[in-house]
Amino acid sequence: MSGEAEGSYVAEYVPATEEINSWREGYLAIERLKYPPAEKLDKRKTMIADVLAFGYGKNAKEKCGGRHFPMVQRADTFNGTYLAVGGGFCDSYGPAAPFGEGAIFAFAEGKEFLFRIQYGWRPKSAQEQRTNIPWRIDPETARRYIEAIKTTALCNGPAQPLCRGK
């Protein structure tokens, strides 16, 4: 975990038997972001989460050292939280992920902060890289990641429950 207690931060999770820079079994990141200053916000009716999801997907494509297979981005409200969800797979992501890396991510709009939730996966071998084309993740695992994102619930926002301890 790194960041500021009262501002932006990121918490990353990998299985206890793995290292953050070389994980294979799975990855979860939860990031809290400050809203941009009001004068930098787009005056159109675009949700900030949509803009962030589009930019995050575009950045993933640009950083991919091979072929990038994007997922369709969608947005909806779940548990009173607006979520913009996307993802994809890069088949050549560098030394830490020689068989590629994929992610399903979402940006959520809270009352005071924005949040990024990201689940990642990496094929462990060339054989595994050739399965579950195009995103190289079995459908049941992808479904579990998406369902976990959909259960995201923020607190203290409009139509949201009060945070515990507040």
Along the 166 residues of the chain, how does pLDDT read in single tens digits? 576 777 788 999 999 999 998 899 899 999 999 988 776 666 667 789 999 999 999 999 999 999 999 999 999 998 888 999 999 999 988 888 999 999 999 999 988 889 999 999 999 999 999 999 999 999 999 999 999 999 888 876 666 677 776 4
Which residue type sits at 15? P
Residue ranges covered by each domain of the chain: 36-150
Pairing of strands 74-78, 27-34: unpaired
Give the model's pLDDT for residue 152.
86
pLDDT at 45: 72
What is the C-alpha separation between 72 and 138, in angstroms, rounded? 17
Selection from 143, 150, 159, 156 nearest residue 84 by Cα = 150
36-150 has CATH 3.40.220 classification: no
pLDDT score at 16: 93
pLDDT of residue 46: 78
Residue at 13: amino acid letter: Y
DSSP one-letter code for 43: S
pTM of the predicted protein model: 0.87
